[in-house]
Amino acid sequence: MTIRKIQELLDADVLLGNELLDKNADFVFSSDMMSDVLAFADEQSILITGLCNPQVVRTAEMLDIICIIFVRGKLPDAHTLEMAKERKIVVLGTSHKMFTTCGILYENGLRGGA
């Protein structure tokens, strides 16, 4: 599924990375605990989180995560966005809660890791 399709399904705002919306993602992982992301997320996936700090981008970089979706209307600060921009990570923001976000994506065929 493309990030563009995900953005449309979630009615999400593109906070960063319009030029990268046609990248494909096969998996999604959701957590506010970056230790769980490091332990269980698949590379080249989408990360759904409500945690808005630079650690999220650092974690995403380590796993080559291609897109971070911030839920519950939370928005990262300018420093966090700049870090994501430098690493070419798409950043989306949605007002949906994490459970709803995951449900919408699951209902449309996107799955968790292998």
pTM for the model stands at 0.95
Q: Which residues are paired to 29 by β-bridges?
A: 47
CB 3 within 8 A of CB 66: yes
Domains of the chain: 3-107 (3.40.1390.20)
Residues in the chain: 114
Where b means 16+ CB within 10 Å and e means fewer, 34-46 reads: beebeeebbeebb
Q: What does the pLDDT look like over 76-100, one tens digit per residue? A: 999 999 999 999 999 999 999 999 9
Average pLDDT estimate for 21-39:
93
Q: What does the pLDDT look like over 32-66, one tens digit per residue? A: 999 999 988 887 889 999 999 999 999 999 999 99
Q: What pLDDT does 114 receive? A: 57
CB 52 within 8 A of CB 77: yes
Residue 30: pLDDT band with limits 50, 70, 90 = very high
In degrees, rounded to 5, the angle at the alpha carbon of residue 79 between the alpha carbons of residues 76 and 85 is 85
The region that residue 34 occupies, defined by phi over 0 for left and psi between -120 and 50 for alpha, beta otherwise, is: alpha
